[in-house]
Structure 1
């Protein structure tokens, strides 16, 4: 009437142990670790790209603000006495040409030329010696000096932007996390064959391209995202159209 209790077979314990073991290359542990390494690389890559991108965008807007201030100063200088107007406009053209043709090469190295500051200081000193003859000339002189102050402020910001770069730790962390993404599948036991090998090579190429991009955009005034001198070139063309 009573059923006999089932006896536990030795094989049941061994099957449970085999189920708990995680030795496969695509097992839970390996999959989780690979996902975390990929997430780390993407996080570092995003930081390393977004920060220089933001700095470059701000620096580009700043160059246009400086060029616009030069253009406005050029306009207002026309209302100064003839000799002063001619000298002031010539100084503004000389500064703009200097920035476009000579200083931009220094910006690519993170430097700003002292000669540029000397040109601005000389112009500022000359304007300070002018004695307006009437209210109209006084207003024009004030306008030129106000625009020159904006040029000074934009130039100071340009000096800061030229030296901006990612911390070296971010750069090396990008390289390290990229290496982990590429090496981990092989360390976990994966051995790509056939078409899968092409997929792995495509992954490797994409990761290395990302690392190259991080290093290429690290400087504001050089590389694929580098700010060029188009704002000052535009101002130079506008000078020629101002009567």
Structure 2
């Protein structure tokens, strides 16, 4: 953050130095008109900077949300495969592993999903998943078929764990704070620029200015609202796990 302020201070210093040097040259004129070259150039550059920051602040969360949503279905599919692979285990062990998977899904789509809105996953979820893996490792496999079944379940649980770690990373991901700050500040400056250069809007000139202000405010709020993957307008919901839970209950009931 200090580097950002230092860069801004250097840029301001360059402008001041350039203005003093230009004053000493011939052929220059004072420019204090609201629609003069200085105001026009500054307004265009500020608008471009705002649009650039706004575009990045929209595209990055949108892309992250799409990736996070896809990952929830990847995790749910891995759980489904682990559930079916457990069918090949001895009956008692199979039932225990499958019940553990259902418990894990219930935890994820309920308490853990609410916790992810705050950027983290529950420690209980990790404990449930690790406990399942320890249980499967401890299963006695006297035959090659049983060993293959145990290995398949462990492979799928590894896929679940990898998808869960990605979900933890998604929950903690937000755009850089500086990006949101630049979007907000440039929006405010673009809004106030006519007044800063000495213009005094009157009558119907206030209508487009007011519309611009409203749209800038809405756009800036949008960048803040979608900055987190699991909250706001683009929030990723637990639909994948809700559907999975229904499917597992159906399979467990023999449906």
Q: TM-score, normalised by structure 2?
A: 0.84
Q: Select which of 168, 171, 176 maps to 1:167.
A: 176
Residues 92-107 of structure 1: matches in 2 within 5 Å?
92-107=101-116
The residue that corresponds to 2:189 in the other structure is 180
Q: Select which of 71, 74, 78 maps to 1:62.
A: 71
- Greater mean alpha carbon deviation, residues 94-103 or residues 195-204: 195-204
Deviations 1:70-127 (A, max 9, x none): 0111111112111111111100000000000110111000011110011011111111
Equivalent position SS for 1:221: coil
Matched length? 226
- Greater mean alpha carbon deviation, residues 126-135 or residues 32-41: 126-135
Q: Select which of 70, 90, 95 maps to 2:99.
A: 90
Residues 1-243 of structure 1: matches in 2 within 5 Å?
22-242=31-251, 243=254
The residue that corresponds to 2:16 in the other structure is none
CA contact (8 A) 2:137 2:150 kept: no
Q: How far apart, in 2, do the equivalents of 1:131 and 1:68 lie?
A: 26
Larger Rg: 1
Q: How far apart, in 1, do the equivalents of 2:206 and 2:101 lie?
A: 61
- RMSD between superposed Cα atoms in Å: 1.7
Equivalent position SS for 2:250: coil
Q: How far apart, in 1, do the equivalents of 2:42 and 2:71 lie?
A: 44
What is the CA distance between 1:21 and its match in structure 2?
5.2
Q: How far apart, in 2, do the equivalents of 1:120 and 1:64 lie?
A: 17
Equivalent position SS for 2:235: coil
CA contact (8 A) 2:230 2:236 kept: yes
Equivalent position SS for 1:240: helix
Equivalent position SS for 1:156: helix
What is the CA distance between 1:20 and its match in structure 2?
5.4
5+ residue gaps, structure 2: 1-27
